[in-house]
Every structure is written in C-alpha cells, then in structure tokens.
C-alpha cells in the first residue's frame, strides 16, 4: 500500500472515531480526533492512562505562508488556544513544525478529557511528512500520546507499536519508518505571565531556544504558582519490565563489583560507553559470560535516537537486570537523563520501584 493510500485509510478511521498509530519525528503517537469524546476515551482505555493525565494535540502547519506568519498560525491555533502570547509566536516561527510542545490557556471548545480537566492545553505541530499529510487531510486536531501502554517504553518504529498492542488486530498503524529523534518533544509552558517555563526536556534545549530566539526559558518552577500537568511528568515512566539500574561509578569499579561476586551469577545486560578502556571491556566479557555487554555512543543525539529501541530489545531478552551508565552532565543530556531516571524508578516486573544505584 502506498503512503497516500495509507493516509486515506487512516483519515477514514479517524473520522469514524477510531484510533490510528501515527509516526512523528519524536515517537509514534496513538492518535484520535481531539474533538470526539468517545475517541478520546478510547485512547485512555487502550493505554490504561489515568483520566487526569493530559494529552498533546497535534495540528497541521500552514501549507503556504502569507506575509503574516503569525496570522497563519493563529487561524490554526484559535480553535484550541484562548490566548497566544507574543513569545509563543516567536517560538513557533523558529521551531514549528518540530519537536516542541507549547502549553496554552485552552479555548472553551476544548474537551476536558483532552486536558485532564485543566484550563491549559498542550499543542505541537510535528515535522514528520506523513503526520503533516494526515493532519492536512484531517483538518482538525489529533490528540496523540505515545503509542504504548501507560508508563512503559515509548515506540520509535511501527514494529514497536505492533508488539505493544499485539492483541489489537484492528489498530491501524501508519508506518513512517524509524523516528528521527527517538525521544519525546520538549514541553514549554507559555500559559502564564513571564518567561516560558520548561516542563519536560527534549531534543530542543533552553540553550538552543535562547540562541535562536533570544528568549530565556525558566528551568526552575515558579513558587506558589500552579504548574500544568503534562505528559511524561510522573516519577515512574518510560519503564521496561526488567529492573533497570543506573550506575554512576566508573567501569573499573563495576568490574570490582563483578569480581566480588555481587552480580557474577546473574544474567545481566551491561551497557557501557563506546569510549571505554579496551582492557576493561575484555575483562568484563570474560567475567560476564552469562551476560551481554552493549556499547552505546557517548553522544546525546545518537544515544537518544536508539534509546527506546535499546530498552525494548533488552527488555525482551530475558535478562535479570539492565545496567546503564548515568548520562554525563550538561544540557545536551538533560532529556536523556530525565527519561532514564523515570525508567529506572518505574522498572520491574510489578509495580515495585527499583531506585538506581
């Protein structure tokens, strides 16, 4: 089936109130008509998502821009957002379509189910060409949280979605290949006064925003002010069923732990940076014959792109434990650190939390 045929089929499903898994440049989303209460309810039911956990609404980008780009975007956003500050238009001009979600004061027309009962709404315009084709054909907002069971590892390919919902034969999946970024969008709150506030780190950092627009992004929450709830903000999230631990000590210290027998008899997946000492790696391979040694790039963009694929692969490989090094300091690693800390806290075969070492 061609892409256009797949999009036509997806449009029919959305108009009929059904769910469609859609590709974006971040992760795959579980999409539904954002104006259809029953379709929104179906998202919550299939994911097992708490009713007060808001969704992100995806909107199309203007097909053609006039001389007034702000007016073009206003026409698209006005059914959803009640007030759009000037700073938001600047951010939109530089980063939409793309992996940036903005939180606005919601329009009175927006369903409470979409916002988790809040007076704010999260909106973004994805840059994936298939997502944009779908949105242009749909001519409305598509609510689309990540296409996975609530709190579990996000999907970065159509195959991930299919394995996540293996029992949902009628779920239509629009296959757009592997996701470009591999982690969820940056979320900024522009619903209040003052500087935009970072609610979730992502591929676009506050430093990049400052350099591109001159806008300062507040990183620390403002005291005594209500902060909107957003996707991915719970302490446990993005979690594999296999216990996941983040280790901060150097590889040599980890070697010593193995030699002392702490994990010698376990079947573990040990993730290490590609730049580690070859001698240490050789010793590790010798000592952990029952385990798997996986090298990953110590570069944030490449690491983020493969993060969820790695977690899914290791989670399906029957290891007793997964060990991943804590990301280095620096803003470029903030989004990855955020995902791994929440994944570690929520990991395990039951609801028992496993704090990182």
What 8-state DSSP symbol labels residue 281? Answer: H
Does 24 belong to an annotated binding site? no
Residue 28 annotated as lining a ligand binding site: no
Residue 238 annotated as binding site = yes
Asked if 271 contacts 349 with a C-beta cutoff of 8 angstroms, the reply is no
Collapsed DSSP state (helix, strand, coil) of residue 317: coil
> Per the annotation, does 149 bind a ligand?
no
Check whether 71 is labelled as a binding-site residue. Answer: no
Contact 230, 122 (CB under 8 A): yes
How far is C-alpha 326 from the geometric centre of its chain's CA atoms? 19
Q: Is 127 annotated as a binding residue?
A: no
User: Is 305 part of any known ligand binding site?
Assistant: no
Residue 247 annotated as lining a ligand binding site: no
Q: What sign does the dihedral 237-24-271-327 (CA atoms) show?
A: negative
- Does 160 belong to an annotated binding site? no
Environment class of residue 151 by beta-carbon count within 10 Å: exposed (0-12), middle (13-18) or buried (19+)? Answer: buried
82 labelled as ligand-binding? no
Q: Give residues with Cβ within 8 angstroms of 220, minimum separation 6.
A: none
Report DSSP state, residue 84: -
User: What angle (nearest 5°) sits at the alpha carbon of residue 93, between those of residues 91 and 98?
Assistant: 75
Asked whether residue 257 is marked as a ligand-binding residue, the answer is no
Specify binding-site residues for L-threonine. Answer: 26, 58, 124, 185
Q: Which residues line the annotated binding site? A: 26, 49, 58, 120, 124, 144, 146, 154, 185, 200, 238
Annotated binding residues for ATP, as ranges?
A: 49, 120, 144, 146, 154, 200, 238
């Amino acid at each position: 089936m061609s892409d256009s045929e797949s999009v036509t089929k997806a449009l029919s499903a959305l108009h009929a109130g059904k769910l469609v898994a859609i590709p974006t440049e971040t992760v795959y989303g579980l999409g539904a008509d954002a104006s259809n209460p029953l379709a929104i309810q179906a998202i919550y039911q299939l994911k097992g998502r708490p009713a007060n956990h808001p969704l992100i609404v995806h909107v199309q980008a203007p097909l053609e821009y006039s001389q007034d780009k702000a007016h073009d975007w206003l026409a698209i956003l006005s059914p959803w957002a009640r007030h759009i500050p000037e700073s938001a238009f600047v951010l939109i001009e530089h980063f939409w379509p793309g992996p940036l979600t903005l939180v606005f004061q919601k329009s009175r027309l927006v369903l409470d189910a979409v916002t988790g009962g809040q007076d704010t709404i999260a909106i973004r315009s994805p840059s994936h060409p298939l997502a944009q084709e779908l949105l242009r054909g749909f001519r409305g907002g598509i609510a689309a949280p990540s296409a996975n069971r609530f709190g579990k590892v996000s999907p970065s390919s159509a195959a991930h979605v299919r394995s996540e919902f293996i029992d949902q034969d009628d779920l239509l999946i629009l296959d757009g290949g592997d996701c470009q970024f591999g982690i969820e969008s940056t979320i900024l709150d522009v619903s209040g006064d003052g500087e935009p506030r970072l609610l979730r780190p992502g591929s676009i950092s506050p430093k990049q925003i400052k350099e591109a627009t001159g806008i300062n992004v507040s990183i620390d929450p403002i005291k005594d002010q209500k902060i909107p709830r957003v996707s991915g903000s719970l302490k446990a999230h993005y979690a594999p069923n296999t216990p996941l631990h983040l280790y901060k000590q150097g590889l040599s210290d980890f070697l010593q732990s193995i030699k002392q027998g702490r994990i010698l008899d376990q079947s573990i997946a040990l993730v290490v940076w590609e730049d580690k000492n070859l001698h240490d790696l050789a010793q590790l391979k010798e000592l952990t014959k029952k385990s798997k040694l996986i090298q990953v790039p110590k570069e944030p963009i490449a690491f983020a792109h493969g993060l969820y694929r790695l977690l899914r692969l290791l989670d399906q490989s029957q290891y007793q434990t997964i060990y991943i090094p804590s990301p280095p300091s620096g803003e470029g690693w903030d989004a990855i650190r955020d995902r791994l800390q929440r994944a570690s806290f929520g990991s395990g075969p039951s609801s028992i939390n496993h704090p990182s070492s």
